Chain A
Amino acid sequence: DTAVSQTPKYLVTQMGNDKSIKCEQNLGHDTMYWYKQDSKKFLKIMFSYNNKELIINETVPNRFSPKSPDKAHLNLHINSLELGDSAVYFCASSQDSTSGSYEQYFGPGTRLTVT
C-alpha cells in the first residue's frame, strides 16, 4: 500500500496553462506539505496544512494555490504556468505539526516540465 501518493507522476505543459497536482495519504496523518525541488536538487517548503487549515505559506507566487478538501488530501493548483515553475513537486505528511521531531513521509514526486 502506498503511504503518500501523487498524480500525475509526469506533467508536460505549455506556458500560460493551468494545471493541478493531487496528493493523498493513507497514514491517518493530520499534517500535509508541498515542497519544490529545483533542477539542482534543492528542496524548499511551499505550503503546509494541518487538518485542512493552512499553517505554512512560504513566499510563493499567488499563482500557486493549495487546497485541502479533507485531511487525507492536499492538491496544488498552478495558474498561468511559467518556465521557472519546471521542477519536481513533492507532497509529504506527518503525524501532526505540534512536534518538530515527527518524521515526514514523502510521495514519489511529480515532475512538471513547462515548455
Chain B
Amino acid sequence: GDSVTQMEGPVTLSEEAFLTINCTYTATGYPSLFWYVQYPGEGLQLLLKATKADDKGSNKGFEATYRKETTSFHLEKGSVQVSDSAVYFCALSSGGYNKLIFGAGTRLAVHP
C-alpha cells in the first residue's frame, strides 16, 4: 500500500541554520503531497502542498519540490527561527476520498 517515510528526529538546530527534513513516498498513481506542522498542544495545520510532479510548494520561508523521479518531497528552510520548533509531518493523499497517509513526524527544536 501507499506509504510515507521521513527522517527520524529530533532535529536540533541553532537559530538561522539551514533546515532539511527528508521525505520519500511510495504510491500508485499520482498523489498530492503535503507538509503539515503541529505546534505543541495544537492540531495540525497545512504548511505547504504540491499536486503534481515538479511543483514547488512554499509558505513562511519553507519550500518543498515534488520529485517524481526520486519519489521525494523534502522540506527546506534557509534560516530557521525558534518559533519554527514543532513536529513536521509529510503526507500524501492516497487513492480516492482524499485519505491522508502520514509519515512518522519529525520533531524540530531550534535554539537561540
Contact = CB atoms under 8 A, between A and B. Distances in A.
Interface of A: 4, 31, 33, 35, 40-45, 48, 50, 55-56, 90, 92, 94, 96-109
Contact of B32 (A45, A98, A101): A101
A100 B93 contact: yes
A35 B101 CA distance: 11
B93 A101 contact: yes
Nearest to B42: A108
Contacts of A4: 43
Contact of A41 (B34, B45, B51, B87): B87
A102 B93 CA distance: 9
Interface residues of B, number: 26
Given A4-B43, A48-B97, A107-B43, 16 more contacts: A33-B100, A41-B107, A42-B102, A43-B89, A44-B102, A45-B100, A48-B98, A50-B97, A56-B97, A90-B44, A97-B96, A97-B97, A101-B49, A101-B51, A103-B34, A105-B46
Interface string B93-112: 11011111110110100000
A64 B51 CA distance: 33
Contacts of A108: 42-43
A31 B12 CA distance: 37
Nearest to A55: B97
B43 to A, nearest CB: 4
